[in-house]
Chains A and B, each alone.
Chain A
Amino acid sequence: GDSVTQMEGPVTLSEEAFLTINCTYTATGYPSLFWYVQYPGEGLQLLLKATKADDKGSNKGFEATYRKETTSFHLEKGSVQVSDSAVYFCALSDPGGANSKLTFGKGITLSVRP
Chain B
Amino acid sequence: DTAVSQTPKYLVTQMGNDKSIKCEQNLGHDTMYWYKQDSKKFLKIMFSYNNKELIINETVPNRFSPKSPDKAHLNLHINSLELGDSAVYFCASSLLPFATDTQYFGPGTRLTVL
Residues of A that sit less than 8 Å from B by CB: 32, 36, 38, 41-46, 49, 51, 87, 89, 93-94, 96-102, 104, 106-107
* Size of the chain B interface, CB-CB below 8 angstroms: 25
Query: With an 8 A cutoff between CB atoms, is B64 at the interface?
Result: no
Chain B residues near A38 (CB-CB < 8 A): 105
Q: In the bound complex, do residue A41 and residue B107 qualify as a contact, i.e. CB atoms below 8 Å apart?
A: yes
Closest chain A residue, CB of each to CB of B98: A100
Query: With an 8 A cutoff between CB atoms, is B66 at the interface?
Result: no
Q: Which of A45, A96, A101, A107 contacts B104 (CB 8 A)?
A: A45
Q: In the bound complex, do residue A43 and residue B41 qualify as a contact, i.e. CB atoms below 8 Å apart?
A: no
Q: In the bound complex, do residue A98 and residue B102 qualify as a contact, i.e. CB atoms below 8 Å apart?
A: no
Q: In the bound complex, do residue B41 and residue A101 qualify as a contact, i.e. CB atoms below 8 Å apart?
A: no
Contacts known (A43-B92, A43-B108); A101 close to B99, Cβ less than 8 A: yes
Q: Which of A43, A98, A106 contacts B98 (CB 8 A)?
A: A98
Query: With an 8 A cutoff between CB atoms, is B55 at the interface?
Result: yes
Q: In the bound complex, do residue B100 and residue A107 qualify as a contact, i.e. CB atoms below 8 Å apart?
A: no
Chain B residues near A107 (CB-CB < 8 A): 41-43
Closest chain B residue, CB of each to CB of A93: B99
Q: In the bound complex, do residue A44 and residue B56 qualify as a contact, i.e. CB atoms below 8 Å apart?
A: no
> Complex: how many Å from CA A100 to CA B58?
12
Q: In the bound complex, do residue B4 and residue A43 qualify as a contact, i.e. CB atoms below 8 Å apart?
A: yes
Chain B residues near A44 (CB-CB < 8 A): 43, 90, 92, 103, 105
A85 CB to nearest B CB, Å: 16
Chain B residues near A100 (CB-CB < 8 A): 98-100
- 17 CB-based A-B contacts, threshold 8 Å: A38-B105, A43-B90, A43-B92, A43-B106, A43-B108, A44-B43, A44-B90, A44-B105, A51-B100, A93-B100, A98-B55, A98-B97, A98-B98, A101-B58, A102-B45, A104-B42, A107-B41
Closest chain A residue, CB of each to CB of B41: A107
Q: Which of A45, A46, A104 contacts B43 (CB 8 A)?
A: A104
A73 CB to nearest B CB, Å: 14
> Complex: how many Å from CA A45 to CA B48?
18
Q: Which of A43, A44, A93, A106 has the most CB of B within 10 A?
A: A43
